[in-house]
Amino acid sequence: MNENPSFKSGFVTLIGRPNVGKSTLMNRLIGQKIAITSKRPQTTRNRIQTVLTTEEGQIVFLDTPGIHKAKNKLDSYMIKVAERSMEDVDVILWLVEPTNYIGAGEQYVIEQLKKTRTPVILVINKADTVKGDAMSGFIELYKKEMEFQEIISVSALKGDHTDELVKLIFKYLPYGPAYYDEDTVTDQPMRQIAAELIREKALKLLEEEIPHGIAVTIESMKERGNICHIDATIICERESHKGIVIGKGGSMLKKIGVSARKDIEDMLEMQVNLKLWVKVRKDWRDSDTMLKNFGYNAKEIGRSE
């Protein structure tokens, strides 16, 4: 453990509406891809914990699912994960997009934030899309809603002002020893990250062809010599979706596998032999048993409204 008396450490949660760039920002801050990203909303389903260690201190980031209206039990689970992540942390980063209008979704988040005593830093993402001095108007709009400890605009995609954001976070962290050794980047098991990387490639390659209802399970992951052999299954909700995921002559499944294998090899720093299968599990997003089997804790899921 670090015994430097000026060393700071603490937990920081990233919250916000779906698709505002939370995963992209977290990957940027730690300098490594851990959370998957997609143009589709609600890509992150579980709370993902990553670690940034510098000479000044250690930040443990919690990336959460986007806060949105529940349509099924999986949605309800994701919302609870996001809301619970605001408890027992040292700093909350609220990510928003640059906008002239604060919608109902943002208003809901504001009401949740007003209940907490935890320091809140408003992060206006996608600053690279803003022209002229328009950003000052967006900042004033949010200032009228509640008082923030800090407000900063960044571009998670390009890395603009992310170093300044890290400095602001340290400003509000308590002094204390590191929670993890300096080489730790995430507490996520490699199996889970591999499954998420496969799901990311499926989402990107399938685009709008099938709904969000796919999951990925790792059936086996074994190292033999200098090769990691992975057997994985892509779960979908409809028989018609299965055909789309596989593609003509298995072409789509092969594309997903080739793309995912490259990222997994980069992560594991070794050669990977990846085999993919596709199975149908009808309406799995509304089944407590299947949600638990696919890695979502059913105890935290309430009935969707």
Question: Domain spans of the chain?
Answer: 8-171, 190-300
Say what the pTM is.
Answer: 0.61
Residues 6+ apart with CB under 8 A from 216: 195, 196, 198, 199, 202, 232, 233, 234, 235
Residue type, 184: T
Q: What is the pLDDT of residue 113?
A: 86
User: How much is the average pLDDT of 213-217?
Assistant: 81
Between the two ends of the chain, the Cα-to-Cα distance in Å is 46
**Mean pLDDT estimate for the chain:** 80
Mean pLDDT, range 222-249, rounded to an integer: 88
Instruction: Express each pLDDT in 25-46 by its tens digit.
Output: 988 888 766 654 444 433 444 4
Do 20 and 105 contact (CB within 8 A), yes or no? no
pLDDT confidence tier of residue 263, bands split at 50, 70 and 90: confident
pLDDT in tens, 179-205: 888 877 776 667 778 888 888 888 888
Least confident of 26-40, 69-83, 130-144, 239-253: 69-83
Which range is least confidently modeled, 7-21, 87-101, 156-170, 201-215? 201-215
236: tokens are 């979908």
Q: Which of 57, 66, 43, 46 is nearest to 90 (CA)?
A: 57
The DSSP element (H or E) to which 9 belongs, if any, is strand 8-16
Q: Using 50, 70 and 90 to split pLDDT, how confident is the model at 15?
A: confident
Neighbours of 46 (CB within 10 A): 18
Sheet of 48-53, strands arranged across: 48-53, 57-63, 8-16, 91-96, 120-124, 150-153
**190-300 maps to which CATH number?**
3.30.300.20
**Residue 92 in contact with residue 113, Cβ under 8 Å?**
yes
CATH classification (class only), 8-171: alpha beta
